Amino acid sequence: MKEIIFLNTIRKVLSNTEYLGDDCANLKELGIAVTQDTLVENVHFSMKYCNAYQLGYKAIVVNLSDLFAAGAKPEYISISLSLPPDTTEDFIHDFYKATDELAKKYDFKVIGGDITGSEKIVISICAIGKTKNRNISSRAFAKEGYTVIVTGEHGSSSAGLELLQSGKFNEKFINAHLMPEISSEFSEEISTKTSKPYAMADSSDGLADALFKIAESSNVTICVDFDKIPYEKDLEQFDYKKKILFGGEDYKLVASVDKTELEKISSNLYTIIGTVEKKESCPLKIKTKDKIIKIKDLENTFNHFKGD
């Protein structure tokens, strides 16, 4: 993966790398967490499959999800749009209609950004959340004995994308892909009711990826019981195990939390799927009915689940 090589190069070149590592930068001195995500047309989305309202919705929640993964409360959002010459006023109207509705729902303010020309649509959003009086997560905070939980259901977004690409329709899955529900309530509770360190990430790049990154950053092994991972029953029509673990873009939360701390959080907001163990040769172990799959390297893991 070129991205990893590039990130290593960046770490080598920069004199100060203390703020790199998590999806959000936790700027303690200012009491804020900051995240920035960019969506590029035909890489992250296609206007064949969504409208401007759905695009605006997704571009915003992708960033809110990063703040929620940190345990921060969204406060300000800056939006930079690069747009082709044929962009219409209706596009802008609908994109910002979604933005405004989310601003009301999650209580944040839009603080500007810019509009520039470009061949393809590029949306770059910077989101700022408050961290004051909150317990803020880090990928590196998982500890042996911690409980591993997820919010929501997994794999639906990937099924939605497959349906869109094949011209089929199923509202549930397509909505999960185009307008994912994010886990603000769990984030609010864990960051305001707990006090011990916890590790949290969102499942933007897939559930296995989030678990893997937490385990690697925390120097532990995470052991997950596959059968405990919640998913929509109809997903079994698809290559569902792969979608649940590697699908991506569900934007649900994945956390490793102290057991007693977890009890402070409303139990309807999460599902326990595993535990944090002492570091073994692999960062991630997934138990299925008849075997334990050890994941050493995410890239080559797909095959383990084919026809499993």
- Find the shortest distance in angstroms from Cβ 83 to a copy of itself: 8
- Find the shortest distance in angstroms from Cβ 125 to a copy of itself: 9
Integer-rounded Cα radius of gyration of the chain: 19
Residue 111 or 292: the one with the smaller Cβ distance to a copy of itself is: 111
Q: Please give the sequence-ordered ranges of beta strands (E in DSSP) within the chain, or none if there are none.
A: 25-27, 32-40, 73-83, 109-110, 115-117, 122-130, 147-150, 199-202, 221-225, 253-257, 271-277, 284-287, 292-295
Residue 174 or 200: the one with the smaller Cβ distance to a copy of itself is: 200
What is the spatial distance between Cα 202 and Cα 209, in angstroms, rounded to a whole number? 10
Residue 15 or 267: the one with the smaller Cβ distance to a copy of itself is: 15
Residues near a copy of itself, by CB under 8 A = 2-3, 5-7, 9-10, 12-22, 25, 27, 30-32, 34-40, 42-44, 75-76, 78-80, 82-83, 85, 87, 89, 92-93, 96-97, 99-100, 103-104, 109-120, 122, 124, 126, 128
Within 10 angstroms of residue 96's Cβ, the number of other Cβ atoms is 17
The 3-state DSSP class for residue 74 equals strand
Residue 15 or 166: the one with the smaller Cβ distance to a copy of itself is: 15
- Find the shortest distance in angstroms from Cβ 5 to a copy of itself: 6
The 3-state DSSP class for residue 58 equals helix
Cβ proximity of 24 and 66 under 8 Å: yes
- Find the shortest distance in angstroms from Cβ 232 to a copy of itself: 28
- Name residue 117's beta-bridge partners: 83
What is the spatial distance between Cα 39 and Cα 22, in angstroms, rounded to a whole number? 19
- Find the shortest distance in angstroms from Cβ 107 to a copy of itself: 10
Cβ proximity of 72 and 31 under 8 Å: no
Cβ proximity of 124 and 80 under 8 Å: yes
Residue 21 or 230: the one with the smaller Cβ distance to a copy of itself is: 21
Residue 103 or 140: the one with the smaller Cβ distance to a copy of itself is: 103
- Find the shortest distance in angstroms from Cβ 81 to a copy of itself: 8
